[in-house]
């Protein structure tokens, strides 16, 4: 993979800022967690839900979640199993447990208010660098480097001249993003979400719409003739027949039941007994399921 260019080799940051921010002003999606009236809790819930999950699937669950638990304290007062149940079919249900744990910590340590500082946010359960920076930036207008998959792809193409970024964030990549961050705090926060939106809607992974891109004229990848990715193999996520699918089937049975579920109902959901037992043990170890009898199980 080509090395990250120096600042002297990059398109002018000011040109990128002007073009991307103007594009965002015209094309930003109307999402509930972006509206002026959105609470920091709404932003936080959206960030947990949007991890590896498309916006279209998140929207109805986010709405239902905020109606039921409009504050962290409302969620913290419920059993963890209710958070898992309400998570529905978003996938990766451990995120529901982590969000519940974060709500408890916010309630106990921050008087029920989502903190506005990166340091306080990253100290919460289930909150890593990206999520802490995103909440501080999108909810409170703070100046932070926010590096999600979409942002990293835009920077890789437009500035580094390669189709895809490295599999993990590198120091050079973070330095590049820092160098491109606008100085003014509010502008930096808008820049962070604008680049993310550009990656989600235009500079997509499989079918980039270069003709609609506001920075196509300075994009190093386009100007180089769209050279093909030559880095480490990019793994495609399988689904059919995997443990992930099995776990999802078992969780669906438990979510849809108002009480404990007998092992026979889980057996009906997945035929392979060895795989089913392995996944059930994993769900118990992950605290997503509890055994409540010799052959019965429930949400925590």
Annotated catalytic sites, by residue? 47
- Note whether 298 and 254 are within 8 A (CB): yes
At 77, phi and psi to the nearest 5?
Answer: -80, -10
- CA–CA separation, 99 vs 105, rounded Å? 10
- CA–CA separation, 20 vs 43, rounded Å? 22
- CA–CA separation, 175 vs 145, rounded Å? 9
- Note whether 106 and 82 are within 8 A (CB): no
Strands 296-298 and 261-262: antiparallel
Report the alpha-carbon angle 32-50-256, nearest 5: 95
- CA–CA separation, 108 vs 127, rounded Å? 16
Residues in CB range of 29: below 8 A, 6 or more apart:
55, 197, 201
CA distances from 283 to 76, 113, 217, 268, 287 (A): 22, 31, 50, 17, 6
Q: Which of 162, 135, 160 is nearest to 146 (CA)?
A: 135
Neighbours of 160 (CB within 10 A): 24
């Amino acid at each position: 993979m080509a090395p990250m260019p120096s600042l002297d080799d990059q398109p002018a940051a000011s040109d990128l800022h002007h073009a991307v921010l103007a594009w965002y002003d015209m094309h930003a999606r109307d999402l509930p967690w972006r509206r002026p009236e959105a609470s920091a809790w709404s932003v936080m819930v959206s960030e947990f839900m949007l991890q590896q999950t498309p916006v279209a699937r998140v929207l109805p669950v986010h709405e239902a979640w905020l109606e039921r638990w409009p504050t962290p304290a409302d969620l913290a007062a419920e059993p963890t199993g209710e958070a898992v149940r309400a998570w529905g079919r978003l996938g990766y249900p451990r995120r529901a447990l982590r969000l519940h744990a974060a709500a408890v910590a916010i309630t106990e340590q921050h008087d029920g208010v989502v903190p506005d500082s990166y340091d306080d946010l990253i100290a919460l359960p289930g909150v890593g660098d990206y999520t802490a920076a995103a909440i501080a930036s999108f909810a409170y207008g703070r100046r932070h480097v926010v590096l999600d998959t979409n942002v990293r792809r835009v920077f890789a193409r437009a500035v580094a001249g390669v189709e895809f970024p490295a599999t993990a964030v590198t120091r050079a990549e973070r330095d590049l993003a820092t160098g491109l961050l606008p100085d003014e705090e509010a502008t930096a926060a808008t820049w962070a979400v604008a680049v993310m939106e550009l990656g989600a809607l235009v500079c997509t992974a499989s079918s980039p719409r270069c003709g609609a891109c506001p920075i196509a004229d300075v994009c190093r990848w386009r100007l180089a003739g769209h050279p093909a990715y030559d880095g480490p193999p990019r793994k495609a996520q399988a689904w059919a027949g995997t443990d992930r699918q099995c776990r999802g089937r078992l969780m669906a049975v438990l979510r849809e039941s108002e009480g404990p579920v007998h092992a026979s109902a889980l057996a009906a959901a997945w035929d392979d007994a060895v795989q089913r037992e392995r996944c059930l043990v994993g769900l118990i170890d992950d605290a997503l399921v509890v055994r409540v009898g010799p052959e019965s199980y429930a949400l925590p």
